Structure 1
Amino acid sequence: MNMSMKKTRTLAKPDFEQLSEFRYQMRRFERFSEQAAQGEGITPLQYLLLLHIKGYPGRAWATVGELAERLQSHHHGVVALVTRCETLGLVRREPSPDDRRQVQVHLEASGEQVLERLAALHRAELKSLEGAFRVPRIEL
């Protein structure tokens, strides 16, 4: 059956309440994250870049393309973000030994320190929101 022809259930008031609460809690956490990053003297996007480098699965670095995917951003925008973080001494670029067209982005010691402090704050905030991030179960 064509998905566009599939009839969907009408949402009830509790469905909207659940979606609203979920989005509210997401926004509260996002606002907390913005303020925490600014308190460390970096932008929220710079924090996310550091987090995605350190948190990239299986290794301690990431390529610009991988970071663009994680940040859901354009390649050229991530290049500019990496440049700003490099200027601040938070990250460094290294050419890939396997493919010279690729650039690996690594954390510098100062980037590690900022990330450690912010990650600890974020973990504590997430613990305080435990249960708030239940994914709404809406039947279609």
Structure 2
Amino acid sequence: MDKSDYQRLAHFRHRLRRFLRNSELLCQVNGATALQYQLLLQIRGASTCDWATVGELAEHLQSKHHSVVALIDRCEIMGLVERRPGREDRRQVEVHLLPAGEELLARIAALHQEEVKLLREELSLPGWEIKPLTAAD
């Protein structure tokens, strides 16, 4: 890798961290944590269904199963989600958004759109390709 590769990578990490920090603030102002927002977003957006299993959520959040269960517990207490027995496999639990969760998710997601647009434009500029490492590297 040469200097420009490191510069692009450093800039990408900076922009990613700035996006995440802004996201944390947007969530906080709207009465949620960043993790609660991510849970709602994954339920709504990461599955072909309008619900997700705890295992799917753990994978998408890159978190341990028990940590996701605790997060779901907190969101359930807040009236954002509810658990339902699996339709096809009763051993699985489906996590569904409730109307309050849908509304919170829509509000916070809308606030992210401008920053997402800027990131998309910036990171799709020519020269932003980061060369993959090879065995020689």
TM-score (norm: length of structure 2) = 0.89
Matched, 1:85 2:81: no
Q: Which has the larger radius of gyration?
A: 1
Which stretches of structure 1, 4 residues or longer, exceed 4 Å deviation after superposition? none
Alignment-mate amino acid for residue 12 of structure 2: F
8 Å CA contact 1:47–1:115 kept in 2: the answer is: yes
> What CA RMSD, in Å, does the superposition of the two structures yield over aligned residues?
1.3
> What residue number does 2:131 align with?
138
- Structure 1 gaps of 5+ residues are 1-10
The more displaced of 55-64 and 130-139 is 130-139
Q: Distance in 2 between matches of 1:109 and 1:18?
A: 41
The SS at the match of 2:57 is: helix
> What residue number does 1:30 align with?
20
> What residue number does 1:18 align with?
8
Which of 27, 31, 42 is the equivalent residue of 1:41? 31
8 Å CA contact 2:86–2:93 kept in 1: the answer is: yes
The SS at the match of 1:129 is: helix
8 Å CA contact 1:34–1:43 kept in 2: the answer is: yes
- Aligned-residue sequence identity (percent) comes to 52
> What residue number does 1:95 align with?
85
- Structure 2 gaps of 5+ residues are none
Matched, 1:54 2:44: yes
Which of 88, 93, 104 is the equivalent residue of 1:114? 104
TM-score (norm: length of structure 1) = 0.87
Q: Distance in 2 between matches of 1:95 and 1:46?
A: 22
